[in-house]
Structure 1
Amino acid sequence: MMGIISSSTYFAVFGAGTLIGATSTLALLRILPKIRKKPTTHWKRGQEENVEFDPIDSSDEYRLVLGVRNDLKMQKGKVAAQCGHASVAAYAKIVEERPELLPLWYRQGGTKIAVRIDSEEQLFEIDKAAKKLNVLTSIIRDAGQTQVAPGTRTVIAIGPAPKSVLDQITGHLKLF
């Protein structure tokens, strides 16, 4: 007799839990789209593949500058990976904070320029100079699983911004 009572109790609890779970999931699916913030950009997936590059004055070309710390003596593959991380971080920041820049940058080829930075201090100076000119920056910190210590700041992405503005921040640096 005890087995029947406990099994019927089990089914009652299981049934109630299933009903509550299904009801709350349905309610959340109806409510969440209403409370999510509206998209910040009109940029559509795959649109970058269909953009025709506009002829422009090269001083006004939108670019992304990648400042690579030369003092770390990273190998080429490591530098490429860190620059990739910086480009993705910059893209994410653009979409979130200034989506109007994305079509301008992509229409002109999505140009990326890598320059040498001599130290972490210089990386911070560049970050500060960019912020004074209201230019987006993203600083990349390495996980430390290969060539550098965990948390090492390896690359800074500056922009995208017009070349004339970026030259005020990074024009003195040598190409990487």
Structure 2
Amino acid sequence: MSSNDTPDAAPASASSADVQSVSAERDAAPQFVLPLVVHIEKTDPPARTDALETAARAVLTILSDERALGEGEWAEVVRDWQDARIRKVVRRARGAEWRKASALPGITVTGKAAEVRVFPPVPLDGWPKELAKLQVSGTDLDDPEEPHAPDPDVPVLWMSPDLDMSAGKAMAQAGHGAQLAWWDLSDADRTAWRDAGFPLSVRTATPEQWRTLTATGLPVVRDAGFTEIAPGSETVIADHPALRG
């Protein structure tokens, strides 16, 4: 699983100077991280795509939760986190570890079989002990069969075909893509997506699809390069129907 996973969250159309300015401003702010814990039992791990989609929906769920909005109990820390780099850390838990993590304030989101619990952002050095001890690496995930073609009417988070990422890294990147789409949507489109239960698909684009998508102006995740891949790598394009030109 991937730790310290952070994108440069400037718009796809921003100039290099704009990106540097945004990055410097975010780096100067107090740094927080959004913890996500995926439930992985040795004997029955979830499919990779199911875990990626569930992680993305978990990020959207906490962003739209009333506790993260307005004067809610998580609102201030969520604002502070989004004002800095939107770091996410994915860790794994099983058995008693999962039960202890599930007892902490947060939200558990389920997919077909995957379970991901998302927690309010914490300072980089302020992890709850129940989460700090969880493993970041060690278990990867696979798809037992090829995922079916995505519904064109449902948002798709397209993963780059050029990058080889661990399941944890890819889960965090999918979460970044969902968050960038959320930021770009109108209030009405956000409400419609939330009320529908945040339907979405995560798929790996073909090289031809990726070349086409990069020219659309859709939100693009550019990784900061702290783990696994080079800084500035374009990892995910968020293809929400409401954002298509």
Please give the TM-score of this superposition, normalised by the length of structure 1: 0.48
Give the structure with the higher percent helix: 1
Please give the TM-score of this superposition, normalised by the length of structure 2: 0.35
Bigger Rg over Cα: 1
